[in-house]
Amino acid sequence: MMTIHVLDKKFVPYLSAETIAKRIEELAAKINEDYADKNPIFIGILNGSFMFASDLYKQISVSSTISFIKLVSYKGTTSTGTVITSIGLEEDLTGRNVILIEDIVDTGKTLSEFLPTIQKQQPNSIKICTLLQKPEALLHPLEADYVGFQIPNKFVVGFGLDYDGYGRNLKEIYQLE
């Protein structure tokens, strides 16, 4: 692994493909243990989580389903400012055990604002599985249940994560130099 460029920025290697794969195996093993007989529904949040969701789901052995959504934020008419909603969710989540799959939890804003939308459907449980988490950046009350790696507050690309749309195809994760 060596220094790379994505658009105008320089990135240095941070997590190798092997390190990521090994950790995903551990996360999947834990989920398989926790969700035996719970028939969970995984919901991957696009675009960033597509690679993580795919590799994780290949290691899931319990009876389950998976679906993908895109989050859209728009200016609400209330004083709360932006509202986050989803597109693409056709499944009925009533009584289901939901596992949200995210690429990275940064400030926690996106997920903490989106969770009520899921809660409205009255699932039996909601858990968050994120590949990366930046604990220093967390501003909103949000607890991720399955965390791949806790990382410093630096911008990263690769393994599904982008810089301005580019870099998602990288097999490794790189940190801004």
CA-to-CA dists, residue 50 to 55, 69, 150, 153, angstroms: 9, 10, 19, 22
Q: How far is the CB of 62 from ligand 5GP (least distance, A)?
A: 26
Could you say whether residue 161 binds ligand 5GP (CB under 6 A)?
Answer: yes
| Active-site option among 34, 55, 92, 106 | 106
94-98-101-106 Cα dihedral, nearest 10 degrees: 90
Quick one: tokens of 53?
């969701």
Starting at the edge strand found earlier in the chain, the sheet holding 97-105 runs 82-87, 65-75, 41-46, 97-105, 125-133, 146-150
Query: In this chain, which stretch among 3-11, 24-32, 96-104, 117-125 interacts with ligand 5GP, using CB under 6 A?
Result: 96-104
Type of residue found at 172 = E
According to CB under 6 A, which one of 3, 61, 82, 107 is a site residue for ligand 5GP?
A: 107
3-state secondary structure of 32: helix
Query: Is 106 known to be catalytic?
Result: yes
Q: In the stretch 109-128, what mask flags binding to ligand 5GP with x, by CB under 6 A?
A: xx------------------
Could you say whether residue 148 binds ligand 5GP (CB under 6 A)?
Answer: no
According to CB under 6 A, which one of 157, 170, 173, 174 is a site residue for ligand 5GP?
A: 157
Could you say whether residue 108 binds ligand 5GP (CB under 6 A)?
Answer: yes
The answer to whether residues 139 and 113 touch, using CB atoms and an 8 Å cutoff, is: no
Q: In the complex with ligand 5GP, which residue's Cβ is closer, 93 or 104?
A: 104
The answer to whether residues 38 and 53 touch, using CB atoms and an 8 Å cutoff, is: no
Could you say whether residue 172 binds ligand 5GP (CB under 6 A)?
Answer: no
User: Residue 53: enclosing H or E segment and its boundaries?
Assistant: helix 50-58
Q: Which residues bind ligand 5GP (CB under 6 A)?
A: 48, 102-110, 155-157, 161-162
Residues with a catalytic annotation lie at: 106
